[in-house]
Chain A
Amino acid sequence: MAQYAILLYGKAPADASGLTPEEIEAHGRHGEDVERLGGSFVSAFALQPSTTAVSIRADGVTDGPFIDAKEVVAGGYVIEAPDLDTAIAIAKLNPAIQQGGGVEVRPCLG
């Protein structure tokens, strides 16, 4: 088994308080998808909206997300899965995809 990070993106500012009860429930149910497809959760985090972000570059500190884009990171989780295909199959079931955002899957180095 290997570890894969799944990053969730939502339309800026990705404010979770803007989610409907149905959307929140869909995220809760996604946990079952992970197990059903042969993966398991290692860690997970949901972030406060991107309006709370502070970014740091060599030339200074700024308010807001590091990358200025239509979509921002909303959270992420790390799963243990047998292979990348399984991790992608799990990621494709993430409700963020149906909520105007999307996901990115990356193998973890360590």
Chain B
Amino acid sequence: MALYAIMLFSPAPADPADASPEELAAHERAGAEVERLGASYVSAYALQPSTTATGVRGDVVTDGPFIDAKEVVAGFFVIDAPDFDTALAVAKANPATQYGGGVEVRPVLDGFPKPE
């Protein structure tokens, strides 16, 4: 098993308060998919909208996300999965891809907490 990070992106400002009940329910269902696909959650976070973000670059502190793009990070989770293909299958099941955004999967080099 290895750790994979799945980052969720949504159209800025990625405000969870704008999500429809259907979208929230879809996220709940996706949680169950993780186990069914043979992976498990290590950690998971939904973030406040990107209007609450603070970026720091050198000595400059700015309001707003670090990268100015159409889509912003909306949350991320780390899973323990047998291989990259499983992590990809988990990522594909995430509803963010159906609501104007998407996901990025990356192997974790090192992190904690460690899976049990």
Contact = CB atoms under 8 A, between A and B. Distances in A.
A1 interface: no
B55 A109 contact: no
A104 to B, nearest CB: 4
A1 to B, nearest CB: 15
Contacts of A71: 66-67
A98 to B, nearest CB: 8
Chain A, interface residues (CB within 8 Å), range: 35 or more
Interface residues of B, number: 50
Given A56-B103, A76-B76, A104-B54, A109 B71 contact: no
Q: Secondary structure at chain B's binding surface: helix, strand, loop or mixed?
A: strand
Q: Secondary structure at chain A's binding surface: helix, strand, loop or mixed?
A: strand
Interface string B42-64: 11011110101111111001000
A81 interface: no
Interface of A: 3, 5, 7, 9, 16, 41-48, 50, 52-58, 61, 65-67, 69, 71, 73, 75-76, 78, 84, 88, 91-92, 94, 97-98, 101-110
Given A75-B109, A107-B48, 10 more contacts: A46-B108, A48-B107, A54-B105, A55-B102, A73-B73, A103-B56, A104-B55, A108-B46, A108-B48, A109-B46
